[in-house]
Amino acid sequence: MIRIYNTLTQQKEEFRPIEPGKVRIYVCGMTVYDYCHLGHARVLVAFDVVTRYLRHRGFEVNYVRNITDIDDKILRRAEENGEPYNELTGRMIQAMHEDEARLGVLSPNEEPRATAYIDEIIAMIHKLIHGGHAYAADNGDVYFAVDSFDGYGKLSKKKLDDLLAGARVDVQEAKRSPADFALWKAAKAGEVSWPSPWGDGRPGWHIECSAMSTSCLGDTFDIHGGGPDLLFPHHENEIAQSECATGHTFVNTWMHAGAIRVNKEKMSKSLGNFFTIREIMETYPAEVVRYFLVSSHYRSQVDYSEENLAEAGRTLTRLYHALRGIVPAKAADVPETEHDRRFAEAMDDDFNTAGAIAVLHAVANEINQHRRDGSEEEAKRSAAVLVRLGSVLGLLQQNPEAFFQGGAGGELSADNIEALIQARADARKAKDFAEADRIRDQLAEKGVILDDSREGTSWRRA
């Protein structure tokens, strides 16, 4: 039995999909006006693990993650750059796909873009107006009337009266109430727009996700996810407009990833502690970054620091050390073990990846013990278990040598390193131990660690 913490009810609940054996999940994706940052990585990796595990448990998963490719921020950035908005979004979408591929994030089943769903957005707005839940203002905008939906605030636990207290309407807006939000925005002169019954314009941000999710997954689906900053107002507004338009419950289970902090402070450009995914991966291997993110429960707050990344690298290295120099048995030849059961027990408890990773380290210890005992076949069987369980978390799928030798950066090429190792071996053979030590120190200064064993010398990047 899988239990998931539902933000809507604020408790863990037994997960029962609408259609037995099948899961429909929608996650709010990126607004593509800039490179993805560490907070985006948290959401990408968290829901990648969720979908991987659901599939591991035998569910057929239809995972939809949207792209917001029209938005105020996009138009402002395109104007600043002096480029068409769709050229900007095209570059950023390509960069996002590159980042997620390096992080081992699998592609969603569908990746709808807002600009491809304008007709569906207009149709939903029309339903809302017809049902008395929205209104066209004199300035060409269309607004959702928040007071027309009795359940407003049920996700965020905010009360409408509290939201209205002290709220003001911008003088340029034509809202009836300060809490109302835009479904359609009238186009400004020279701005990209689409024709609609209310005049040329473009969709508001909230309505985009409602139209895309229901078009792809139906009026009601199993799981809706996103980052912590989306709970209010974005997801609250999605519920209101979707349920008013369809007359059905929008989503059964709401999931939200935890926030990212940098050295115990909120990540912010103004504080100078804002990091993009690609900036981080210039220093740390992508799998180390993924391990860092996976090692904490998806709902917990994660503190990014150089020390925490370095520790993630060290602990992931220990797992790869257990696999180094061993060919795992064929997975089909290794039935489920007690480790598999404990792994599932952790993941069934609201995708407790921290507990699941503890199981990986227990398997690694078992491999090391088998090798010390000379039980190579047992070590190979345990290695197969480690690789199998690691795959559910998107970890340990590299050849160990590729992991150790393919770290981020590095002044010396693999050929240079191998040549120096050979020179060191020649010096040791000639009993010139001072030269051998000098070469080892030279490599260490360049971030290359040597491991001597009876089989020879292997190396890894620090």
Which residues fall in the annotated binding site for Zn(2+)?
28, 209, 234, 238
Q: Identify whether 233 is preceded by a cis peptide bond (ω within 30 of 0).
A: yes
Neighbouring C-alpha atoms within 13 Å toward the C-beta of 185: 20
Amino acid (1-letter code) at residue 223: I
98 CB-near residues (< 8 Å, 6+ apart)? 278
Amino acid (1-letter code) at residue 136: A
CA distance 363 to 284: 25
Task: Please enumerate, by residue number, every residue annotated as part of a binding site.
Answer: 28, 209, 234, 238, 269
Look up residue 84 and give its DSSP letter: -
Distances (CA, A) of 140 to 118, 146, 171, 182, 275: 17, 19, 15, 11, 39
Both structure tokens of 280: 């981080």
Both structure tokens of 153: 């605030």
Are residues 187 and 200 in contact, defined by beta-carbon separation less than 8 angstroms? yes
Both structure tokens of 292: 């860092």
Rounded to 10°, the helix 85-102/72-81 angle is 110
Q: Based on the number of CB atoms within 10 Å of its own CB, is 373 exposed (0-12), middle (13-18) or buried (19 or more)? A: exposed
Number of helices (H), then strands (E), in the chain: 16, 15
310 CB-near residues (< 8 Å, 6+ apart)? none
Are residues 87 and 391 in contact, defined by beta-carbon separation less than 8 angstroms? no
CA distance 394 to 291: 9
Task: Please enumerate, by residue number, every residue annotated as part of a binding site for ATP.
Answer: 269
Amino acid (1-letter code) at residue 133: H
Distances (CA, A) of 258 to 46, 109, 237, 301, 440: 9, 24, 20, 5, 43
H helix or E strand, kind and range, residue 459: strand 456-461
